[in-house]
Amino acid sequence: MGAVSAFSLNRTIAGLALGALLLTGCGSSLDENGGNGSGDGRSDGTVKIGLLVPLSGVYAPIGEDLRDGFQLYLDEHDGKLGGRDVELVTADEGEGPQTGVPAAQKLVTQDRVTAVAGVVNSATALGLRDFFDESEKPLLIANAGADDITGTRKSDYVWRTSFSNGKVSAALGPTVAEEAEGSVYLIAADYAAGKEMVAGFRKTFEAAGGKVAGEKYTPFGTTQDFQPYLSAIRKSGAKAVFAFYAGAEAVSFVKQYKQFGLAGRTPLYGTGFLTEGGVLAAQGTAAVGVKTSLHYSTQLDSARNKEFVDAYTEKAGKSPTVYAVQGYDTAGVLDTALAEASGDSGKALVEALRGIGSINSPRGTWKFDADHNAEQTYYLREVRAEAGTAVNTVLGELG
């Protein structure tokens, strides 16, 4: 099912579930915890938070990193947010809205969480927007970059601690226009995020004088053999490539790009998800030379980042990723909001989110903009082999 039709279906599901939520009299009677059933905490002061991340499908490694980052923050803060013990209810987003939307609805209507954090896939985020808006529950999106979520479909109840697709790719356009010695081929996973990543890139790339050699969207989650697409790239005569892939698809694409003989001849650019964390470890030296834009690298030279990299590596047994940072920062944002809010109704919590100010993150300082999106610095990164290990070296700040 395409993102658009999945979205209309999920609007219907969201509507039905909201109806059920209202019919249960949520908010008007005491629940099993002695609360009022609106997720307003529990009589023992514990706050229940829902964490919705993919634990299955192509984005499962992203979900795990996000969860590990969130958990690290909790571990560093005695398992508390806003001074209260946290009961974390984790649910599997799966591969998109078909699984992610009902899982989120269960967190709100059955588990009665105070807020939901997570969501990796843009199509899931788009499918959830109305449900959270209408049920007046805070949703803190810790990855999914769907542009409209903090644009035309902005909601008082939906906040994003990560990025918007169009912005992270737009940051790279002028650099590629300057560096590419001819036209550039655009290729991405065929769903909301892929389309928006390409559109954002194309806008600033063309504005800076860049020319497009061709554009292709590959079936999301099912493409394993990129050979036919790599042949088309070669045939197009493109002098460079811009790509959006993440998770398992990023591993296959970059490895096959090298095997096909394009690496080293036709420079590969992308958003940083193409070479991030476990993905980069699996690509190994096949990724050397790939240049990307992202709001994080393990190589960022700040005391805050070094402290985070050490703590995360010790706990998780692997290097952190942008997803881990986003999970960590989401827990931090909830910590401040819960501490500041007068009560933990959705209304009180979003009021507190409005007043949050700057966040001192391993990625650098960032804040929410007026549309509830993360306003932050994007970095130009290049994969280099350091002592035999591929890392995302930071070349500088973008735009």
Q: Phi, psi (5° rounding) for residue 238?
A: -60, 145
Pairing status of strand 374-375 against strand 378-386 = unpaired
Q: Phi, psi (5° rounding) for residue 188?
A: -160, 165
Tokens of 357: 């100010």
Taking the CA of residue 349 as centre, how many other CA atoms within 13 Å lie in the half-sphere pointing to its CB?
27
Residue 248 interacting with ligand PHB (CB under 6 A): no
CA distance 76 to 317: 16
Q: 145, 210, 270, 320: which one contacts ligand PHB (CB under 6 A)?
A: 145
Question: Closest approach of Cβ 191 to ligand PHB, in Å?
Answer: 7
Residue 293 interacting with ligand PHB (CB under 6 A): no
CA distance 260 to 254: 10
Residues in the chain: 399
135 or 165: CB nearest ligand PHB: 165
Helix, strand or coil, per DSSP, at residue 249: helix
Q: 10, 105, 109, 122: which one contacts ligand PHB (CB under 6 A)?
A: 122
**Taking contact as CB under 6 A, which single stretch among the options 85-93, 142-150, 310-318, 376-384 is the one that binds ligand PHB?**
142-150
CA distance 121 to 66: 13
Residue 376 interacting with ligand PHB (CB under 6 A): no
Question: Closest approach of Cβ 150 to ligand PHB, in Å?
Answer: 12
Question: Closest approach of Cβ 195 to ligand PHB, in Å?
Answer: 10
Q: Pick out residues in 40-79 that bind ligand PHB (CB under 6 A).
A: 62
213 or 274: CB nearest ligand PHB: 274
Q: 273, 308, 366, 379: which one contacts ligand PHB (CB under 6 A)?
A: 273
Residue 144 interacting with ligand PHB (CB under 6 A): yes
Which residues lie closer than 8 Å to 36 by C-beta, 6 or more apart? Answer: 27, 28, 29, 30
Residue 275 interacting with ligand PHB (CB under 6 A): no
Residue 246 interacting with ligand PHB (CB under 6 A): yes
CA distance 349 to 139: 11
Q: Is 232 exposed, middle or buried (0-12, 13-18, 19+ CB in 10 A)?
A: middle
Q: x/- site string to ligand PHB, residues 198 to 237, per CB under 6 A?
A: ----------------------------------------
165 or 392: CB nearest ligand PHB: 165
CA distance 20 to 26: 9
Q: Pick out residues in 75-94 that bind ligand PHB (CB under 6 A).
A: none
21 or 294: CB nearest ligand PHB: 294
Q: Phi, psi (5° rounding) for residue 382?
A: -135, 135
Cβ density class 57-78: b for 16+ within 10 Å, e for less:
bbbbbbbbbbbbbbbbbbeeee
Question: Closest approach of Cβ 287 to ligand PHB, in Å?
Answer: 15
Residue 121 interacting with ligand PHB (CB under 6 A): yes
38 or 292: CB nearest ligand PHB: 292
Q: Pick out residues in 169-188 that bind ligand PHB (CB under 6 A).
A: none
Question: Closest approach of Cβ 209 to ligand PHB, in Å?
Answer: 27
Residue by residue, DSSP assigns 296-330 as: --TT---HHHHHHHHHHHHHHSS---HHHHHHHHH
CA distance 296 to 318: 16
- Count of residues touching ligand PHB (by CB under 6 A): 11
* Number of residue whose CB is nearest ligand PHB: 246
The residues of the shown chain that bind ligand PHB, judged by CB under 6 A, are 62, 120-122, 144-146, 165, 193, 246, 273
